[in-house]
Structure 1
Amino acid sequence: MAHHLSGLDLLIVAAYLATITVFGLRFRNYGQTSGGRSLESYFLADRRIPWWAIALSIVAAETSTLTIISVPGVAYTGDWGFLQIVLGYLLGRIVICVLFLPRYFRGELMTAYQVIGQRFGPQLHRLTAFLFLFLRAAAEGVRVFAVSIVVGIAIGTRDVLSIGIICLLTLIYTLEGGLAAVIWTDVAQMALYAVGTLTSFVLLGRLVPGGWQHIHAAAMAAGKITIFHFAWNVTTAYTFWAGLLGGCFLTMASHGTDQLMVQRLLAAKNLRESRIALLSSGVMVLVQFALFLAIGTGLYFFYGRAATTAPDRLYPQFLMDEMPRGVAGLMVAAILAAAMSNLSAAVNSLSSSTMVDLILPRRPSIDGAGKTRLSRGLTLFWAFVLFVLALLSRGGGHVVEVGLSIASVAYGSLLGVFLLGTLSKRANEGGAMVGMLCGFTVNFLLWKQSHPVAIDEGSLHFIFPKIAWTWFVLAGSLVTCATGWLASLLMQERKTNS
């Protein structure tokens, strides 16, 4: 039978939850003036956040609970091929610094989708914002469910109660503090789960006879730490080409067009600091992924092949069963830290996009106090939506892969529109909307073919073969750009002839 946390461990977790909530509430008056809090203060922290804090916040969001509990499971069942994707992450960051960030820092923009409005028009502006809201809410539901696995194992609660606890506590400081609370609690929580993860890494080495030296030698012999797979096979998720190209396009979408990340980058003091924050976060992510993969390899040699726990539950269960009293509580607090940091950012970014991209263009006369009240109301609304979606996200597969594959469905068309607007002067709003629809449709059908619960429609296999999720964004982006460009040319020609 699985063990739950001891009294001391529960006390440590409770102390963490209370401390981080109080710390987040310290930012409730951040940027407050006699006229109240502006939207720029609530959603962008007055653009005064230093680059290193933004970098840590990006890493906290990018690694999240999915990384902590699921990547070790990926290494346990396979090898280190997942690390190939991080190479693409690094390349994608460079492209963002060159193509996207300079456009975001022209003017006083608050969301990524205002750039689309400036380039194409209000209809596509709203459409891209709607797509982001769908994408982020769906993917975040998986992430919130992921942490309920840890909470349930730790204290014995069922999924509904576990998800509710996390959502409620995160909402308290996010509602009051805005983005300033999100980023600075991210920094504190990033430090906590970095220390916690390193602690479990050291203790795991002590529990395996021969320590990490033996684990490394045995893993090398068994091919468990192989990184590079150079085969051209689009049905395999972890190959060098899928990692480099697919990971690059995935990062261009997630960090260059997703408000969750763009909002953090816009909070920097200037373009230079925003670029430094993004690039340095890539190096940190590389180190983090390698560490969690190493833990997964260590778990393989600790448990052998006889582990009865599902891969995604293996690392949390190891913490409950094997860590000394006090250390297990520290690790659970670290995993909760990752979950709360990501959830708070998701709620805040969903609220900011809803407010800036959808409501204000239609109701520009709202006064400052009204904007603040409405922004907080939207924060409450999206917290409830994510709670519901988390309950619907329970079921099959490595949760990190499920989350990334859901995101990839919408990311392709979203990135394609941004690239079309940046690289082509002849593209217009109508053509871009056609391209976006085509790209999303292709990605959805590819996902249907690859998803474990998809209905098998044999006729689709000839047109949309089953390919790995790592290729989704690249495929969707290319389809969006190509069809959007062609549709724009046809519309211009028709207009000229008429």
Structure 2
Amino acid sequence: MSTLDWFVLFGTLLFIVSYGVWKTRGSHNIEGYLLGDKSMPWWTIGLSIMATQASAITFLSTPGQAYQDGMRFVQFYFGLPLAMIILSVFVVPIYYRLRVYTAYEYLENRFDLKTRTLAAFLFLVQRGLAAGITIYAPAIILSTILGWPLGYTNLIIGVLVIIYTVSGGTKAVSQTQKQQMAVMMGGMLIAFIVILNLLPEKVGFTEALSVAGSMDRMNVVSFDMEFDDRYNIWSGLLGGFFLAMSYFGTDQSQVQRYLGGKSVKESRLGLIFNGLLKVPMQFFILLIGLMVFVFYQYEKPPVFFNQAALEEVSGSSYADSLQVLNRQFDENFAEKRALLDEFAVAGEEESGRIREQLVQKMETQENIRSQVGKLVEGLDKDLEGKDTDYIFIHFVTNYLPKGLVGLLLAVIFSAAMSSTAGELNALGSTTTVDLYKRSIKKNGSDKHYLIMSKVLTFLWGCIAIGVAMVASLFENLIQAVNLLGSLFYGTILGIFLAGFFIKHIKGNAIFVAAIIGEAVVFGFYFFSEIGFLWYNLIGCGTVILAALILQMTGNQVKN
């Protein structure tokens, strides 16, 4: 990287951290620290919600997802707008009426202490692991690109987040997330414009979409009803709806964002703002990945985007095999490139034939890349054979002009920091309010709980860094985070929905039902091939059905 890139990168990060510490200095009570004095307007709430969800994984993995699999991942978010409306109408007023610090306080009022503790525990396990992944995921890629040791990169991200999150609490998180969202979306918009300018002179945006469509990448909506398909309109509307309901309605990292609103109206507007913009934002990020895909149809891509891993294979006993695959890759690319030139001037009759040949060439290319991935895995089991998460960052570091490389790296760091800050803030709040204050020290002073909130937030930050230090990559980082959420969110949502809408279910029934629901979800995870988005519906449905049966049979026994 150039000196200018380093200046842009560290200047942006230091400004965000300093701004967060300065803007929120002097949180003197627990309400100010955990809820930001309930002073945040709707646009701050909306941006904070989006920034907490939009981790670095979003900006690293989503473009790569589009490159490999097309646009269909956007269906994952189709259920989100409806979830925002339902939460705004039914859930937000309940939280405000009860004046809770965390979502799980409601469960004790509705059921009992053990149900509250169980839900808080499930959240802490899931979100504690996720916080480590949101640090580790960008760190392992950034360390490869920048040539830094992985441990140092984990520490840099984690420590920067801890500084302002511990210092200013919820208000610091929300204030810095506004700046981070500006950096993230501004940087991605600039990247999109640069990509279009890098395409061949006769390939405009419309022609680029045509090229992507000819290779089956414009698959925005799929109506196929296949339960083992992760992304179709049914899994998006149903599974995505239940995931969004649970994430935004019961996950403290999101609930805490809108509990700090000035009023019910402000919190509702913040959620609706997120519902209106989230799908277009994800579509745009996928579209950037699609344009990177088109760019690499004219500019020869590497046979494997993780260059550090490729260099290790080149210096190993697999070098000869790699050379053979490289030659095959080059020949296939030259043939595919010639077909693209034909496609650009072909008539309607010829274009169908050429499209079939392009798809075949693309399949051959991906097969060669897959074989290279197997060489990587064969060389070192700790190396990842999938390079999806390196596609966009490879483009950024090799084709963007000086200054913009630093800006795009700042986008990724900012996204990691914004998401992790929201998670640490929620982990500290939940541990303080739902476990420490409720079951360990019930009669402490306001100052005592303020200090403990900061201490516990700091400890969760250290735990997240520790998880990042020992983590290993999944097939795709954005899928890993969503899978982790889907394993727990359905059960938690089932508890809350029973509390909100089924008044005759009591504490003992819902507690046992939650344990059954979690067991069923893990059973599907280990023993079936069903797409993970369905876990949210399965977990939620199992909890509610089991609770109804247990409550009914329990009443009959008593009678």
The TM-score normalised by the length of structure 2 is: 0.82
SS in 2 for 1:82: helix
What are the ranges of 5 or more consecutive residues in structure 1 without an aligned counterpart? 450-464
Q: What's the CA shift string for 1:167-220, capped at 9, x where partnerless?
A: 011111111111111001000110011110000001011112124232112112
State whether structure 2 residue 294 is matched by structure 1 residue 301: yes
State whether structure 2 residue 96 is matched by structure 1 residue 105: yes
Match of 2:163? 172
Task: After superposing the two structures, state which structure 1 stretch, 137-146 or 114-123, moved more.
Answer: 137-146
Find 1:437's aligned residue among 515, 525, 540: 515
Is 2:23–2:175's contact at 8 Å kept on the other side of the alignment? no
Find 2:11's aligned residue among 11, 15, 20: 15
Match of 2:544? 481
Is 1:351–1:379's contact at 8 Å kept on the other side of the alignment? yes
Once residues 131 and 97 of structure 2 are traced to their aligned partners in structure 1, the CA distance between those partners, rounded to angstroms, is 30
Once residues 349 and 369 of structure 1 are traced to their aligned partners in structure 2, the CA distance between those partners, rounded to angstroms, is 19
Q: Offset at 1:103? A: 1.1
Given residue 193 of structure 1, which amino acid in structure 2 is its aligned partner?
M
Once residues 120 and 478 of structure 2 are traced to their aligned partners in structure 1, the CA distance between those partners, rounded to angstroms, is 24
Find 1:87's aligned residue among 78, 82, 87: 78
Task: After superposing the two structures, state which structure 1 stretch, 149-158 or 40-49, moved more.
Answer: 149-158
Match of 2:45? 54
Q: Offset at 1:306? A: 5.3
Match of 1:460? none
Once residues 198 and 318 of structure 1 are traced to their aligned partners in structure 2, the CA distance between those partners, rounded to angstroms, is 15
Match of 2:388? 311
Match of 1:204? 195
Given residue 410 of structure 1, which amino acid in structure 2 is its aligned partner?
F
Given residue 229 of structure 1, which amino acid in structure 2 is its aligned partner?
S
Given residue 43 of structure 2, which amino acid in structure 1 is its aligned partner?
W
Q: What's the CA shift string for 1:284-338, capped at 9, x where partnerless?
A: 2112111111111112122247541111111112111111010110111111111
Match of 1:122? 113
State whether structure 2 residue 470 is matched by structure 1 residue 392: yes
Find 2:530's aligned residue among 462, 467, 479: 467
Once residues 97 and 205 of structure 1 are traced to their aligned partners in structure 2, the CA distance between those partners, rounded to angstroms, is 39
Is 1:92–1:247's contact at 8 Å kept on the other side of the alignment? no
Match of 1:346? 423
SS in 1 for 2:522: helix
The TM-score normalised by the length of structure 1 is: 0.92
Once residues 269 and 338 of structure 1 are traced to their aligned partners in structure 2, the CA distance between those partners, rounded to angstroms, is 26
Is 2:71–2:219's contact at 8 Å kept on the other side of the alignment? yes
Is 2:33–2:168's contact at 8 Å kept on the other side of the alignment? yes
- Whose radius of gyration is greater, 1 or 2? 2
Quote the sequence identity (%): 31
Given residue 121 of structure 1, which amino acid in structure 2 is its aligned partner?
D
What are the ranges of 5 or more consecutive residues in structure 2 without an aligned counterpart? 306-386
State whether structure 2 residue 387 is matched by structure 1 residue 324: no
Once residues 98 and 236 of structure 1 are traced to their aligned partners in structure 2, the CA distance between those partners, rounded to angstroms, is 32
Match of 2:342? none
Q: What's the CA shift string for 1:330-389, capped at 9, x where partnerless?
A: 111111111111111111100000001111113221112211221111011100111111
Q: Offset at 1:90? A: 1.2
Is 1:139–1:404's contact at 8 Å kept on the other side of the alignment? no
Q: Offset at 1:479? A: 0.4
Given residue 537 of structure 2, which amino acid in structure 1 is its aligned partner?
L
Find 1:424's aligned residue among 491, 502, 507: 502
SS in 2 for 1:232: coil
Q: Offset at 1:27? A: 3.7
**Pairwise mapping of residues 251-290 of structure 1 onto structure 2 (< 5 A)?**
251-290=244-283
Given residue 476 of structure 2, which amino acid in structure 1 is its aligned partner?
H
Q: What's the CA shift string for 1:393-451, capped at 9, x where partnerless?
A: 322311000110011101011000001111211111110011101111111122224xx
CA RMSD of aligned residues (A): 1.4
Find 1:382's aligned residue among 443, 451, 460: 460
Once residues 540 and 228 of structure 2 are traced to their aligned partners in structure 1, the CA distance between those partners, rounded to angstroms, is 18
Once residues 486 and 99 of structure 1 are traced to their aligned partners in structure 2, the CA distance between those partners, rounded to angstroms, is 25
Q: Offset at 1:150? A: 4.1
Count, aligned residues: 472
Task: After superposing the two structures, state which structure 1 stretch, 283-292 or 44-53, moved more.
Answer: 283-292
Once residues 107 and 421 of structure 1 are traced to their aligned partners in structure 2, the CA distance between those partners, rounded to angstroms, is 14
Once residues 10 and 501 of structure 2 are traced to their aligned partners in structure 1, the CA distance between those partners, rounded to angstroms, is 51
Match of 1:409? 487
Runs of 4+ in 1 over 4 A off after TM superposition: none
Is 1:416–1:480's contact at 8 Å kept on the other side of the alignment? yes
Is 1:150–1:332's contact at 8 Å kept on the other side of the alignment? no
